[in-house]
Structures are given as structure tokens and as C-alpha cells.
């Protein structure tokens, strides 16, 4: 019962922290880190422990599902070089650098223990990165690179962590040939499993129809996929990411399902991250009270590891910048030195670091209490400091960075196609409805072309004080017809954008935002009957 009370309190505190962060315009992961540190000063707090083996299966699958919903296979195909360079190679380079550093500065620390710690602190956290980067006004181009980096860096770090833990359990050295084969096996089997689960789930989601049942299924699927992958000794991370990409194609035009699903997973992501930070605070409290922990030494290790991670990231981003310049890839960050500075400063660590450190058992890691302190110092150095200083840094570099939140050409083409699809529907009504109805809808659709926003305003309502009954009826009928035509046009744009989301080169986050605007507008429209003009006109519009 005591644990339940603490978990409930942590979730409530998470909600309050997010509300405070929005009011103060501060990134909520930064405030969660402060909250975790605050648990150290609350007297009489009981110990809260969760089985180390349950940390990853409980926390990781739903968070991965929530993150992967924002991406698409089109992004994978278009940015595979960035994914390999930042999500895999940079993580392995960071693991190697931290491993060497810890063996150098920590007397008696073995290679495998140092490697496990390096794997835990190596991957930047995409949730924390987005929460820190977006309020700072970072250009969409740079945020896209940060999101791409976050696609598979968790998988790379988990593979390194698993290799180190397995070797510790076997009491043996790492056989690199076998480890390479294991990595290939875990990746290939995970992708195949994820595709199968994603295909089956897309059929189930389309068959269920109910948004409530669909959201419930998407809650179960990440756990089932992760556990099944682990039973096959494959990567649960890759399997979950692959599964969500296929399942996201199901019921593509159901606005109510997409709206409820987005809200559901936003809340899930928030509460799970808050719980992880809270548990980190309790683990840190236990570590600091342990008699064998040298706090000053552990903090010094954390600072050293943070510096090493920053240097490795800065050097890596500099190399990527020069490669992009040489290959003429100026639309991908980093394409200038200011991008390198911002990307280096945005390497925040978060959930995966917390989860991996919390999953370390005392039997395998005698220094796991010190590792907890090291991880918290890394969180402080890579999240709190950048989170509070990044807006000022962006302002300072403003004249060297294109601060226009412009959309890339492929995404602009998708928005144009959506506009054209809506206009095609409208043309099907030209001979059927009064000219003033068609004109009003055309004027609203024109705002899409001029502003890039599908938030096209509310339909005009008749004046309730109008004395002329006949005129009021005419206006009311006109308003109804406008709503019907708008529904057909917006649904056509919605279908076009949903299909465009999976094109190579299209920014899925930008498309998701536009789809959200469309979903809100469509759900707000009054319902139309199956025999009304909207159905007949819609068929004619689509044929047109």
C-alpha cells in the first residue's frame, strides 16, 4: 500500500511539474530532474524498490511505442545515413569513450562494468530532447535531426548494455565476433517480428472500429511485442519500433480515433517518464545513504563522464557537418557551425539512462550505488544546464542560424497535394450547390494555401435576432451545406496527407501537426446523414 501511495504521489507531482513548466516556459524534463533531486530532502521517505529485471519491460515498451508513432518508414529510407551515423555509430563511440574514461579514473573498475555504465549514459533521450529543444525556438531542420537520432540509439545502447551484462553473468570476456553476430541476429529477428506484429495489429485495429478498444489494443501491443522479442533473444526496442510503423497505417481516416490516441499516448509518455524520474530520486537517496559510497568521488566521475560525452558529441557533429558540406546536403543539420553548437548542446540524457541504471543489480554491479550518482550527475549536466541555457544560446547564434521554422520541400509538396485534393472535391459541387456556398468554402480552403494552416475558422451562424424567418431559414440551410462541403473537402485533404506521411523525405512530425488540425476541424463539424447531399456530392467530387 505504501508503494501505491508513493507511485500515485509521483504521478500527481509529474502533472504539477508539467503545468508549472508550461506557465514558466521551462522544459518539464528539467523540472522533473529537479523534482527527483528534491526527494533527497524529504524526511522520513520510505524505500521504494522494483525488481531490477522488471524495470525495462515495464517502462520501455509503452514509451517506445509513443515515440515511434511520430516517425515513418519514409523517414527511415530518406535519412538512413543519419540514423546509422548518429543512432548507432555515435552511441558506440560514446560507449567506448566512457568505458575508457571510467577504467582510467576509477581504480579497480573492470571493463564490463565500465562498458555497462557507458551504454547507460550514451544515448540522448528523444523525449527530453524535444521538450528542451522546441521551447528554445530551435529550427525545425535541427529538431528533425535530433528526432532522427533518437530513433534507434536506444536499441544500440541496449545491445551494448546486454552484451556487457551477459558477459558479467557468464563470468567471461566478450567475444567480439559472437557479439557482432548477436547484434545482427537481434536486429534482423526483431525487424521481422515487428513487421508481423504490426501487420496483424493493423488488421485488428481496422476491425475493432472503436477508438476505445483501439487505444486499449495499442496499450497491450508494445508489451506483447517487447516480451516476445526478448523470448526470442531479439531486440525488443527494434521490434516495437517496427511494429508501430505498420500499425499506424490502420484506420487512417478515423479522426476521433487519431485524436483520442494522440491524447492517450501523450499522457502515457508523460506519466511513465515522471515515474522513472521519481524512482531515480529514490534510488539516488538510497545510494547517498550507503556507507561505502564516496559521494565526492562519484560526483567527480559524473562530471568527467559528462565532459567526455560532450567532447565526443562535438567532434562527431563537426565531422558530420563537414561531410554534409562536402556532399551538398545543406537541407540536413548540421549544415553550418552554429548547427554543430546547438546539436552538441542538445544531447540531453533521460529515460533510457534512468532505466538502465535502475536495472543494474547489486550482484553484478557492486558499485551500482555509485553508478546511480554518476547517472544523476550526467542528467544534471546534459539536461538541466542545457535546458536552462539553450534559449539564450539560440538567441546568441540567431544571426548564424536560419530561425525560420520552414518546412522542407517534400512536406510543402504534401500540403499542396492536400489542398488540391480538397479543391477537387469542391469542384464537384460547382453545378449542385448555390454559388455563395461554393465561394465560402473556396475562401476557407484558400487559407490553406496562404497560411499553411488547416485551422480554417468556424462557419458563420445565422443571427438569432433576425426577424425575417425565410431569410433565417435560407442562411441556416446555407450554413448546413457549407459544413457538408467542408467535411468532404477536409476528409479528402486528410486522406492525402495520411498517404503522404509515408513518403521518403516528408517530415512526419509536420504532417502529424497538420493532421491534428484537420482532425479537430472534422470532429467539430455537425454530423451528416448517409442520404444527405454530402454523400452524393462527395462521390461526384472524388470522381471529379
Other CB atoms closer than 10 Å to residue 2's CB: what's the count?
Answer: 9
pLDDT score, position 226: 92
Mean pLDDT is lowest, of 110-114, 155-159, 393-397, 401-405, for: 401-405
Phi, psi of 506, rounded to the nearest 5 degrees: -85, 135
pLDDT in tens, 79-134: 777 778 888 899 999 999 999 999 999 988 889 999 999 999 999 887 777 777 76
Question: For residue 309, how far is the Cα from the chain centroid?
Answer: 22
Handedness of CA 388, 393, 398, 403 (dihedral sign): negative
pLDDT band at 403 (very low <50, low <70, confident <90, very high): very low
Residues in contact with 418: Cβ distance below 8 Å, sequence separation at least 6, in sequence order: 448, 493, 494, 496, 497, 500, 514
Under 8 Å between Cβ of 347 and 94: no
DSSP H helical ranges for 69-175: 73-78, 80-82, 90-105, 111-121, 126-133, 140-149, 153-170
pLDDT band at 468 (very low <50, low <70, confident <90, very high): low
Tell me the average pLDDT across 235-257. 74
Report the alpha-carbon distance of residue 513 to residue 70 in Å, rounded: 10
Q: What is the average pLDDT value for the chain, to the nearest integer?
A: 79
Under 8 Å between Cβ of 471 and 453: no
Give the residue extent of every domain in the chain.
1-399, 409-454+471-524
Report the alpha-carbon distance of residue 63 to residue 240 in Å, rounded: 10
Half-sphere exposure of 52 (CA within 13 A, CB side): 13
151 versus 12: the higher-pLDDT residue is: 12
Which pTM was predicted?
0.77
pLDDT score, position 118: 95
Tell me the average pLDDT across 359-381. 87
Report the alpha-carbon distance of residue 163 to residue 182 in Å, rounded: 9
Report the alpha-carbon distance of residue 377 to residue 382 in Å, rounded: 9
User: At residue 399, does pLDDT exceed 60?
Assistant: no
Report the alpha-carbon distance of residue 339 to residue 400 in Å, rounded: 9
User: At residue 211, does pLDDT exceed 70?
Assistant: yes
pLDDT in tens, 42-69: 777 777 777 777 888 888 888 888 877 7
DSSP H helical ranges for 290-336: 295-327
109 versus 535: the higher-pLDDT residue is: 109
Nearest to 50 by CA among 287, 352, 355: 355
Residues comprising the chain, all counted: 544
User: Spelled out in words, what is the top-level CATH class assigned to the domain 1-399?
Assistant: mainly alpha
Nearest to 423 by CA among 396, 398, 443: 443
370 versus 483: the higher-pLDDT residue is: 370
393 versus 178: the higher-pLDDT residue is: 393
pLDDT in tens, 173-189: 777 777 788 778 888 99
Under 8 Å between Cβ of 344 and 45: no
Half-sphere exposure of 223 (CA within 13 A, CB side): 10
pLDDT score, position 253: 52
pLDDT band at 505 (very low <50, low <70, confident <90, very high): low
Amino acid at each position: 500500500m505504501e508503494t501505491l501511495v508513493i507511485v500515485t504521489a509521483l504521478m500527481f507531482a509529474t502533472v504539477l511539474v508539467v503545468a508549472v513548466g508550461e506557465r514558466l516556459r521551462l522544459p518539464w524534463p528539467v523540472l522533473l530532474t529537479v523534482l527527483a533531486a528534491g526527494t533527497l530532502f524529504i524526511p522520513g521517505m520510505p524505500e521504494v524498490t522494483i525488481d531490477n529485471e522488471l524495470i525495462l519491460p515495464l517502462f520501455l515498451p509503452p514509451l517506445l511505442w509513443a515515440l515511434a508513432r511520430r516517425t515513418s518508414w519514409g523517414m527511415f529510407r530518406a535519412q538512413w545515413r543519419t540514423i546509422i551515423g548518429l543512432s548507432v555509430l555515435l552511441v558506440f563511440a560514446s560507449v567506448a569513450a566512457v568505458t575508457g574514461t571510467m577504467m582510467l579514473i576509477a581504480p579497480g573498475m573492470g571493463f564490463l562494468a565500465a562498458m555497462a555504465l557507458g551504454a547507460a549514459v550514451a544515448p540522448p533521450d528523444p523525449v527530453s530532447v524535444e521538450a528542451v529543444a522546441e521551447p528554445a525556438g530551435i529550427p525545425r531542420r535541427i529538431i528533425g535531426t535530433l528526432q532522427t537520432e533518437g530513433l534507434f540509439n536506444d536499441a544500440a545502447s541496449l545491445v551494448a548494455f546486454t552484451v556487457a551484462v551477459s558477459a558479467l553473468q557468464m563470468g567471461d570476456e566478450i567475444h567480439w565476433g559472437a557479439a557482432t553476430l548477436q547484434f545482427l541476429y537481434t536486429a534482423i529477428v526483431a525487424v521481422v517480428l515487428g513487421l508481423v506484429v504490426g501487420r496483424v495489429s493493423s488488421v485488428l485495429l481496422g476491425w475493432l472500429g472503436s477508438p476505445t478498444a483501439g487505444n486499449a489494443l495499442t496499450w497491450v501491443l508494445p508489451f506483447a511485442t517487447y516480451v516476445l522479442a526478448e523470448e526470442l533473444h531479439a531486440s525488443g526496442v527494434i521490434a516495437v519500433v517496427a511494429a508501430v510503423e505498420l500499425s499506424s497505417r490502420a484506420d487512417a481516416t478515423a479522426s476521433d480515433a487519431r485524436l483520442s490516441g494522440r491524447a492517450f499516448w501523450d499522457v502515457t509518455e508523460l506519466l511513465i517518464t515522471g515515474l522513472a524520474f521519481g524512482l531515480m530520486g529514490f534510488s539516488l537517496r538510497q545510494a547517498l545513504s550507503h556507507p561505502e559510497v564516496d559521494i565526492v568521488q562519484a560526483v567527480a566521475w559524473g562530471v568527467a563522464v559528462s565532459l567526455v560525452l560532450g567532447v565526443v558529441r562535438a567532434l562527431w557533429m563537426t565531422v558530420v557537418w563537414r561531410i554534409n558540406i562536402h556532399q551538398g546536403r545543406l537541407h540536413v543539420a548540421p549544415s553550418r557551425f552554429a548547427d554543430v553548437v546547438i546539436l552538441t548542446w542538445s544531447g540531453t540524457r533521460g529515460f533510457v539512462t534512468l532505466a538502465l541504471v535502475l536495472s543494474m543489480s547489486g550482484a553484478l554491479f557492486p558499485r551500482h550505488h555509485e553508478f546511480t550518482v554518476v547517472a544523476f550527475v550526467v542528467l544534471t549536466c546534459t539536461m538541466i544546464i542545457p535546458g536552462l541555457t539553450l534559449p539564450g544560446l539560440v538567441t546568441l547564434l540567431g544571426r548564424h542560424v536560419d530561425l525560420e521554422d520552414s518546412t522542407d520541400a517534400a512536406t510543402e509538396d504534401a500540403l499542396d497535394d492536400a489542398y488540391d485534393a480538397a479543391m477537387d472535391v469542391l469542384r464537384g459541387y460547382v453545378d449542385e450547390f448555390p454559388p455563395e456556398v461554393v465561394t465560402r468554402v473556396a475562401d476557407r480552403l484558400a487559407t490553406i494555401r496562404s497560411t499553411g494552416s488547416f485551422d480554417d475558422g468556424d462557419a458563420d451562424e445565422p443571427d438569432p435576432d433576425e426577424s425575417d424567418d425565410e431569410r433565417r431559414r435560407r442562411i441556416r440551410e446555407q450554413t448546413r451545406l457549407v459544413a457538408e462541403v467542408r467535411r468532404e473537402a477536409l476528409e479528402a485533404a486528410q486522406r492525402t496527407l495520411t498517404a503522404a506521411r509515408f513518403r521518403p523525405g516528408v517530415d512526419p512530425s509536420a504532417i502529424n501537426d497538420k493532421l491534428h488540425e484537420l482532425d479537430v476541424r472534422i470532429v467539430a463539424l455537425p454530423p451528416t446523414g448517409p442520404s444527405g447531399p454530402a454523400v452524393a456530392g462527395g462521390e461526384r467530387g472524388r470522381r471529379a
